[in-house]
Copies of this chain bind each other. A is one copy, B any other.
């Protein structure tokens, strides 16, 4: 019955990676809190790097300006 929302920057996350995130979080909630996997909902939001800010700057700018690969 838990609801989990994972938000990451959009950068080519594959369907297989998404499936691994969904399985991993669902297992973790079952193992840690005894939550029922059948009703555990996981929603992944992929956000454009222009729309994600860290340190007061859009991720797109941090990467371009500083050569930093913030993840």
Q: What is A's interface to B at a CB cutoff of 8 Å?
A: 1-9, 13, 15, 17-29, 32-47, 50-61, 70-71
Contact = CB atoms under 8 A, between A and B. Distances in A.
A26 B53 contact: yes
23 contacts: A1-B41, A1-B71, A2-B6, A2-B8, A3-B41, A15-B50, A18-B50, A18-B58, A19-B57, A21-B53, A23-B57, A26-B55, A26-B56, A33-B71, A36-B71, A39-B41, A39-B54, A39-B55, A40-B53, A40-B54, A42-B52, A42-B53, A43-B51
A25 B28 contact: yes
Contacts of A17: 32-33
